[in-house]
Structure 1
């Protein structure tokens, strides 16, 4: 009976502790939101790996605060014993998606070699960094690339994206434009997935192009170096 009562008291204590912690996190969130105003949204507040600090997620950015919510600062937490960048790891986890969330019917597919390695790219046809990336990607073999067009840079981006998607061979038309500078000039009045791609980008915080995703859901923003892409593929084996 004594052991049973002790177990019950421990459980009650844990429940109470969890409740108090949740209330503290909610209060910090409310206080910081008031101070930041309505221009940005505080998504969540959770204890940071360091005692006394809390992680504050504002949009897709990580900040830290103290228990009083008086200070807000941005920086990286490095674990000295291992050299691990805890903030970077946490940011990568937050940016991760489920590969299955990507609707491949909303992308056109480019296959080279046996196509065994898979990569998804969100691209704007007028994006200079996207063009640079596409030229680099020509070096990769045994790859399947799913390209999701998101025209976010200009009205002309939407026109070109429609012409690419509506062409007889979207992958070829896209590569001809991005790599060889051959302007797409076909029809643009077919049904496209552009609105769906833009909605997906908004939901998952894809605010720039190019943005790459690998099958483990990890996200690489920007014109990533081929060496880094190959390194990532190597880690997925």
Structure 2
């Protein structure tokens, strides 16, 4: 009984020390480098090294928060990529909670694979991603129109007044053709902006896979296919 009590006490002590060290890292970071926005700071398997999330990627820092490392941490005994695991944890959303009814839906082939995209029609990288998405087969793409540029708000709302919003979106983002309708109608743009904010999006484009994994940027079709393969989607 005493042995078990000592084990529990030791575990609690180690946990307390870990929490204290994480708090020290946060304080040092705020004091020494307040301009760096590193979130989700936590201890790692490597003594004295802590992980955090910065601009969608995993970074590592030491206790005095004077050095930041970017790269992969590999556990040698089983070749486990601990950074990849953290990346998945830190960039995952609940797919089932996405309000897909507020997205413009496009189906290619059998549509069995699914993607959710957050896109601004005047974002050059969004336009580039749109071209890459057209190279994918057997996919359903849900595009949450996310106009973070001021000039994108009006046409983004107006395209929902068109008979075929999906076609109006394609014409707008790929060809620069403005929606013909100038009337006002119900649209999800305000909800999409709130949704993007709740997901921590401060730029476009964003890609969310059906397992909830989220990435930022105009990923090539080949890289999207590779992610599908890695996750078995």
CA distance in 1, matches of 2:84, 2:74: 11
Q: CA, structure 1 residues 40+101, in 2 after alignment: closer, same or farther (shift >3 Å)?
A: farther
CA distance in 2, matches of 1:52, 1:179: 49
CA contact (8 A) 1:210 1:223 kept: yes
5 Å matches for 1:135-146?
A: 135-146=131-142
Q: CA, structure 1 residues 56+78, in 2 after alignment: closer, same or farther (shift >3 Å)?
A: closer
Moved more, 99-108 or 15-24: 15-24
CA distance in 1, matches of 2:40, 2:176: 45
CA contact (8 A) 1:151 1:157 kept: yes
CA contact (8 A) 2:53 2:90 kept: no
Task: List alignment gaps of at least 5 residues for structure 1.
Answer: none
Indicate yes or no: 2:168 matched with 1:173. yes
Q: CA, structure 1 residues 46+139, in 2 after alignment: closer, same or farther (shift >3 Å)?
A: closer
How far the C-alpha of 1:77 sits from its partner, in A, is 3.4
CA distance in 1, matches of 2:80, 2:7: 34
How far the C-alpha of 1:165 sits from its partner, in A, is 2.1
Q: CA, structure 1 residues 109+91, in 2 after alignment: closer, same or farther (shift >3 Å)?
A: same
How far the C-alpha of 1:147 sits from its partner, in A, is 0.5
Question: Which residue, out of 175, 181, 197, partners 1:202?
Answer: 197
CA contact (8 A) 1:63 1:72 kept: no
CA distance in 2, matches of 1:13, 1:42: 30
If the length of structure 1 is used for normalisation, what is the TM-score?
Answer: 0.85
Query: Who is 1:93 aligned against?
Result: 89
Query: Who is 1:73 aligned against?
Result: 68
Indicate yes or no: 2:16 matched with 1:19. yes
CA distance in 2, matches of 1:231, 1:16: 43
Task: List alignment gaps of at least 5 residues for structure 2.
Answer: none
Query: Who is 1:186 aligned against?
Result: 181
Question: Which residue, out of 110, 115, 139, partners 2:106?
Answer: 110
Moved more, 222-231 or 73-82: 73-82
Q: CA RMSD in A?
A: 2.5
Aligned residue pair count: 231
CA contact (8 A) 1:125 1:157 kept: yes
Which is higher, the Rg of structure 1 or of structure 2? Answer: 1
CA distance in 1, matches of 2:31, 2:126: 39
Q: Provide the secondary structure at the position in 2 that maps to 1:220.
A: strand
How far the C-alpha of 1:83 sits from its partner, in A, is 7.1
If the length of structure 2 is used for normalisation, what is the TM-score?
Answer: 0.86
Q: Provide the secondary structure at the position in 2 that maps to 1:152.
A: coil
Q: Provide the secondary structure at the position in 2 that maps to 1:21.
A: helix
CA distance in 1, matches of 2:32, 2:193: 31
Moved more, 164-173 or 24-33: 24-33
